[in-house]
Structure 1
Amino acid sequence: MNYKDSAKQILDLVGGEQNVQSVTHCMTRLRFVLRNESSVEDVQVKEVPGVMGVMRKGGQYQVIMGNDVASYYKELEKLGHFSNQAPTENSGEKKKLFEAFVDVISGCMSPLIPAMLGGGMIKVLLILLPLIGILDDSSQTFAILSFFGDAPFYFMPIMLAFTAAQKFNVTPMLAVTVAGIMLHPNFVEMVNLGDPVHFFGLPVTLASYGSSVIPILIMVWLMKYIERFFDKIIPNVIKSFTKPLLILLISGLLALVVVGPLGTFAGQLLSSAIIWIQGKAGWLALGLMAAFMPLIVMTGMHWAFAPIFLIASPATPDILILPAMLAANLAQGAAALAVSAKTKDKNLKQVAAASGISALLAGVTEPALYGVTLKYKKPLYAAMISGAICGVYMGITGLESYAFAVPSLVALPQFIGGQNNGNIINAIVVAGISIVLTFVLTWIFGIDEVEKHETEQSVKISEAVETGSNDPKKIYAPMKGQVIPLEQVNDAAFSGKMMGEGVAIIPEEDTITAPFDGEVTALFPTKHAIGLTSENGIEVLIHVGIDTVELAGEHFTAFVETGEKVKKGQKILAVDFAKVKEAGYDTATPIVVTNTDSYIDIVAKEITKTKSQETILYVV
């Protein structure tokens, strides 16, 4: 392998020395921080000899090189003067702020997708069952099922508080409590009464935070600094009770008096601007509303238009919000279905299909928006373009909604009214254009997913092999924990099997042991990853956690060195996984056979739990 030539090609393709802010490497990747990442063509970088794949993650451009990464890095160092400092929170381009913002929302929302899908499908049932006569919409069963379906959405701020706390390294239960303050029934009652409310003499904006996203994310981000401040100034002897007391008081006050109202004020400003545009050019106002409706709903600013769409009737039809939501909702559903049809990822295919059905039939777009389109960005752009085109058409034809309902295919009768059948025909045309155009655009734009390399040969392995055997064709679990497929690891390099076949373990103990008799061939200075080679030549990488290289060795202890011989079951690493979790890192630990190509097949034992030194992989 010519490391020098490949290193030079990589440097040229990422924009040369002048475009490299810093470069470091971990166990398998070159990690670039680039001044202008958008100029890099991933396809060209992947064609460089030795490159296994690329990733854009956390403000870094990561080039996956495998076990020889140190050799490529040495050649890179000879080609220029690069900083090897990890990027700070403020590094990166200003124009990357929106991308970082989207990544935060997507990362915090992803764990909520199963709950939202479940709630969305219940809403679909609530529409379909009365239509076919199975359920009476005035029954108590219908009423109870209604709040079954509403619960995941109304209490979204509480669930988001927990996931955001993990991302921003905030005490989770304090964040959840602040979300509870914003949704407390007594506060909701104050909002409904509409009388002025003051807290320590400060005016509280009467806003509804149910189903909102942005206010709680901003609040938890602020709590990161509030918690850090009180942690520094409060004496240890009284910290256990004064720290949570002060955090809740300050955070609750900021949530109700400062942060929460921002969405309300922004919504009022948006409402005034759109209504002004509508008065000048109605077609433009509808085009803008339909295009940006996903982002407007995400921030909760659509409630500023509530006086318009909640009173929709034949006497006072809505010509703005509900028509715009028709195009936007169906576009989200169509984009999700296109992703489901195009992706090779089985899990994404299922999630996207269910999300698409929920959006098309019930108008519940959260699963599609947060789980699919926002996450992959290009489907969101396709939906917004389609929404804009449909919005202009609706503005020109004067589409009106004569009843309040969440727009969807099933709710199209809300557009029946007016003279003749022109209005409902236009609504059907909009629905058709939105679905077809979005699907086609999403298909053309594609999605940036890592291709899965499927095994071409299938070999049956007998599972009836006694655990503890010295069979050199077996790899033993280096730790106790839950076993998951590599496809479920939250890192494309591993889930895409760029490094090779294997499994991952979510650890339940802090000790990591050797998976076979062999030799330590690589131990990264931060001790988050270790490479071993068995006596029979099986090369294994144990990568402890995801992105844990950023911890710079903190919470990791190594008991072996590179070149040292090890015996199966010998203690090689110790990790304080509780501290790693507190720092906000995923502890899933991939165990990968990096020389997979040297074997016919790597077969994972079909288990979901393992003890240390139990067989987890068979090498054929």
Structure 2
Amino acid sequence: MDYSKTAAGVLEGVGGEENVNSLVHCATRLRFVLKDESKANTAAVKAVPGVVTVAQAGGQYQVVIGNDVPDVFAEIGKISKFGAGSDAAASEGPKGNLFNRFISMISAIFTPLLWALAGTGLLKAFLAAAVTFGWITTDNSTYAVLNALSDGLINFLPMALAFTAARYFKANEFTAFAIAAALLYPTITPLVGVEGLTFFGIPFTMVTYVSSVIPIIVIVWLQSHAEKFLYAKLPGAVRRFVTPMIVVLIAVPIVFVVIGPISAILSGALGNGIGWVFENAPWAGGAIMGGFWQVFVIFGLHWGLVPLFTLEYQTTGQILLIGPVFAAVLAQAAAVAGVWVRARNKNLKSLAAPATLSGFLAGITEPAIYGINLPLKRPFAFGIVGGVIGGAIIAMGGVFSTAFVVPSGLALPALFGNGNMVMLIIGLAAAIVIPFLLTAIVGFTEPEEDAAPAAPPAASGNDVVVLSPVDGTVVPLSETPDAAFAEGSLGDGVAIKPRSGAVYAPFDATVAAAFPTGHAIGLRHADGAEVLIHIGIDTVKLAGAHFDVKVTTGQEVKAGDLLVEFDGDAIERAGYDLTTPVIVTNGELYPALAGQASGPIAHGEPLFTAVSVESALAN
């Protein structure tokens, strides 16, 4: 995948930067909150290379990328105010009903922690399996070190959530960290369960905040409002240090006296409720989680269940909910494996192979679901059947995890030794074998083999194919913010909005003019076509600043040779538009253009064909 091209295409497809309120990403998706979803061209977004599909749910416009989503997210940050390293990633809160806003909030707060939680959880799972099989004992320093590094993040989860919640609610991150640190302070944790505690005469009950979720998120939300109020009221000379002092002084007691006990009651009730279901009707709980998990994934709503995992873990020290999810994930992977085995369509088989591996090994099922199972319908339904049956069996075995992991084949050790292992094996076998056999035997309606793409028409006469000299987005020449170019007075062509600072030769040529200011290059093709590449508008006024010309007038160059490097950021900071016209200047010999590209383009890709007089007359 060309991450920069995918990023540019997606951003353009959603209506441009000006149509984006906020942007975050989760494990596999770019999650946009758009100002006007009607301005998004969903068909164009889906057609961008690297995009699996688009889902509109939870108040978000979700662009499914897959495992490479962090790289695309980072590239968006390079061409807009949204993306990696940008404070504008959540510049405006999500709109819509409370449920949509809740899903968006949970996604934004938990996403930065997901892979660290999954990685350390997987390590904890392997450590637990090693103890179960007698490969390591718990009474030595090696175990102590491994247990600390695998259990530390989930133990101090409130501290991590303090940072991500502060970013989401636009509160001071380190003040939020100070609040979380107080909740887990060594002299505070021993007070859990001690009777007769008071704070200035106000009685309270100390509850555990280890691995907790609700208290820190609620108090950081309150912190964000308190800080806005205090910053507006306090004198500028003192507010920077008085504000955090007042916030911490008020926030921590509020957690101890009010928020903590209430959240403990709610968490306990929720944990007991989950325990009751899995004790009295485990088959029902397992069937629901195993059957509906992937449906939630389709709409990106599975994030709403992530807090339930952490709350159950905090309350009981184990996660019953997660066992059946293994069945759901592996069932869809098995269904796409069935497609891989049965399909005759070469394109379908080539898609099914990596999707199978991704689902089984990493638990990332979006490529399988969106790319294959859901469009083919039957494999997706067979996967749900396998998830329901496998999830019910696993839940009936009382199988649980003692670590937060992303359900996948590699994470199975998280379940080892926790519950009835025979039922686990039977449940997993059912989840894998049933959808695989149903898909491979019952089958599905295959799409017809795509016809081989027609070869592009060969240039006739002295036609010249002009390749893109820069990476960027193609726009009509009429949109150039300069009348001479926009009206075609200097020649016909197109314009490109660059996303990188290099200009390459668009064909084998002689450099007709290498301007000493570096802002423009004139090239002459052997067949006579003359092309001007003008980097930016009015950039001649920079007198060469921020440009580095690599060629000289009269020099022979090959297609793809580097001609000019420029500092786009510096040029824009100087107040100049970087729109780069690429025009044919001898229109009397090349009076028409054909096959103009549009949208995102990389250097070296066909930009247009300059049609010669001979070809024009022949047609």
Structure of higher CA gyration radius: 2
- Length-normalised TM-score, structure 1: 0.48
- Length-normalised TM-score, structure 2: 0.48
